[in-house]
Structure 1
Amino acid sequence: MSVPSVSARIDLRQLLYGVLVGNTLVALTVLYLLLAGITISEPRYTVYGLIWVVVGLFVLWRTDPAPTDDRTRRRAVAVAVVYFLVLAVAGGVVVAAMQFGEGEFGVRVATLAPGWGPAPIISTPWAALVLMPARVVGYLALAYLVYATVIDAAGAAVSGVLGLLSCVSCTWPILASLLSGLLGGGSAIAAATFDLSYDISTVVFLVTVALLYWRPLMGRASDTGE
């Protein structure tokens, strides 16, 4: 009788972790629906929200940036932080007050569809933080992938032009969010864009994660498999 290899045991353990996380998310979703009294009229929004959370957690767990020096690490952190802040503003995590300086301090929880909610909202006179779990986890995952990409680009001595091209996908979530805002209004195109905004943003998110995770132009995947 053959003995399972180390890699097989690792894969089995990772599969077990995945099942546990999946079951936990399902249990929390059901509990949240019961406590908040939410009726799901559009199941796809819930599916999208959970996809963002699951994929984001997977990326944060499995991405293993290459070892590097402190100077490169600080630069990568700076790029990732700026990228996360831009995503947060473009994606509605940070929302400016309609009349700057005339808002109020406050904290409340929005009972949105699972994955998007429960969303704590922290208001100030100048801006508000809308902490939708899907957006926060998803944007953190993208920022971490950008951090790993910058380190890989530096370690591989990639030229500035190639480094930029390899991260063109970084701008997709930002452009998609801005496009939705620019098409606001009462037109049929604006209405269709709004109706499909969650569909579009989820597709953009998944494609961006895939390109940044495997980074085909740089020939290295973030997942080391260890």
Structure 2
Amino acid sequence: MAAVSLRSRVDIHTLLHGAIVANTLVLLAVAYMLFGGVTAPEPRYVVYGLLWVFIGLITVWKTAPATTDDRTRRRAAAAAVGYFAALAVAGGLLTFPETGAGATWGIRLVPLPPGWGPAPVLTTPYVVVGLVPARVVGYVGLSYLVYATFIDAAGSAVSGLFGLLSCVSCTWPVVASVATGVVGGGSAVATAALGFSYDLSTAVFLVTVGLLYWRPSVGGD
């Protein structure tokens, strides 16, 4: 009985804090739309954007990597950073201007719908960084799950980066981002047309978070 009671309190505690985060995101979205004069072509785009941010935040909060040695943690961190970089490039958060295209240093704010915007875009002659909030927070959540998955896989027969690359659920977001032309940095952000890619990429994101959070065997899913 004591164990059940404790679990109930923990669940209520989690739900309460989750509700606070969700309500805060909704209030910020409403304020952004009212005072920023931002509209969305369809309500579902706002829902998707806020869902990416909410799930990303909750994922980082609720994921508890296993205890391990410093060497494994460093390798897991390197794998997670590399995974985030791959997602950022595939998802268009990082784009590279053509040589001689005349790109200069600059920064601007793109007023995309809540969750997707406001999106700061940093332009340099070498790389264009589009900080779409939903993608950044969502990719951080996925990368943290990869960090935890790497640690779990370190003691298995299929371990290390090879195990992560062979993990179907890990590679889905990268493939989906390329295949659907997900909105990204630079001119892609400035001229983004919301379309079916949002539906597909959001579905892939949610499924991937679920698979990595419950940690099926790496290389075997």
Q: Is 2:157 aligned against 1:158?
A: yes
Q: What is the SS of the residue equivalent to 2:154?
A: helix
Distance apart, 1:195 and its partner CA: 2.9
Q: Is 2:11 aligned against 1:35?
A: no
Distance apart, 1:10 and its partner CA: 2.0
- Within 5 Å, which residues of 2 pair with 1:41-190? 41-99=41-99, 102-155=102-155, 157-160=156-159, 163-164=163-164, 167-181=167-181
| AA in 2 matched with 1:87 | L
Distance apart, 1:45 and its partner CA: 0.9
| AA in 2 matched with 1:110 | V
Distance apart, 1:166 and its partner CA: 6.7
Distance apart, 1:146 and its partner CA: 0.6
- Render the CA deviation track for 1:147-193: whole Å, top value 9, x for unaligned: 100100113x2324993587221111111122234xxxxxxxxxxxx
| AA in 1 matched with 2:152 | D
Alpha-carbon spacing, 1:165–1:79, altered in 2? closer, same or farther (3 Å): closer
Q: Is 2:213 aligned against 1:213?
A: yes
Partner of 1:24: 24
Give the TM-score, by structure 1 length. 0.83
Q: What is the SS of the residue equivalent to 2:51?
A: helix
Contact 1:33 1:114 in 2 (8 A): yes
Partner of 2:5: 5
Partner of 2:186: none
Where does the alignment leave 5 or more consecutive residues of structure 2 unmatched?
Answer: 182-193
Distance apart, 1:5 and its partner CA: 2.2
- Render the CA deviation track for 1:33-79: whole Å, top value 9, x for unaligned: 01110122211111111111111111000000000001111111111
Quote the Cα distance in structure 2 between the aligned partners of 1:207 and 1:20: 24
Quote the Cα distance in structure 1 between the aligned partners of 2:50 and 2:14: 19
Q: How many residues align?
A: 204
Contact 2:164 2:170 in 1 (8 A): no
Contact 1:121 1:131 in 2 (8 A): yes
Alpha-carbon spacing, 1:100–1:7, altered in 2? closer, same or farther (3 Å): farther
Distance apart, 1:12 and its partner CA: 1.8
Larger radius of gyration between Structure 1 and Structure 2: 1
